[in-house]
Amino acid sequence: MDIKQIQKIYDFSGKTVVITGGNGVLGGDIAVALAGLGANVAIADLNTDVTGDLQKRMHNLAGDVSIFKCNVLERESLEQTRDAILEKYGSLDILINAAGGNKPQATTSPDLSFFDLPKDALDFVLSLNLQGTILPSQIFGKILAEKDNGIILNVSSMNAFRPLTRIPAYSAAKAAVSNFTQWLAVHLAQEYSANIRVNAIAPGFFLTNQNRFLLTDEKTGELTARGQSIIDHTPMGKFGDPEDLIGAVLWLLSPASSFVSGIVVPIDGGFSAFSGV
């Protein structure tokens, strides 16, 4: 394979990509990377206020980036977003399910035991991460099934491989996302088209808006005890940077992985390989 063929593989010109939860740290970096390679990127997020570094980087790209207000837990909202995206771009080729997260009320602590975690908090975390992946896959995935071609990329987590302390609902939900990824890959290939692929990435520990002050001290910037424990169990000895996801994402979204479906790729600095000894 010569360099021109390789360059063509990673040319996303004319492709339309939907990224749910794309206004976050990780989703934003993926959006900019894909638009830089020519894709039209539709960010579907409850938060449509794009600020700071992401706002600056969204301009002067080969492709276009737009943001649409969308609640991934409401079918009507997803359908309205789908229609708006199709009206603007005319097609859909790739879905990235990046919406997800945890909440303090579903996290054990010295003041809140596992036995007292409220059901509504557990329900929210389980629903956001699992249903927030399944529902967009129904709404946007149907377009891919009808055209017999496309890619779905889910965002799982290291929690799916190695459950972490304190966050039972999030760990369980991400394990379910990995399982659903495999199920959907088989279902779409067998029932619709072998040209529809479904995979997932499983990020390790990245500093995001949600976990920054769980892993680092807000005042000093020093690692918390939990943050230090993570570094101690990550052979590469650091947190991931958002751009560390890009290589694996581009591979899974490109023809370079045309015979790859139903896998979950750890991007974790060796965390999942380390026994602690």
Q: Which amino acid is at 277?
A: V
- Residue 275 to residue 114: CA distance in whole angstroms: 26
d(CA 57, CA 138): 31
210 closest CA partner among 19, 17, 20, 27: 27
User: Which SS3 state, helix, strand or coil, does residue 47 take?
Assistant: coil
Q: What single-letter DSSP state applies at residue 215?
A: H
Helices (H), the chain: 3-9, 25-36, 52-57, 75-89, 119-126, 132-139, 141-147, 168-191, 212-215, 225-232, 246-253
What residues are labeled active site?
170
How many helices (H) and strands (E) the chain has is answered by 11, 7
Answer yes or no: are the C-beta atoms of 223 and 205 closer than 8 Å.
no
What lies within 8 Å, CB to CB, of 235 at 6+ separation is: 269, 270, 271, 273, 274
Which structure tokens are listed for 35?
């638009």
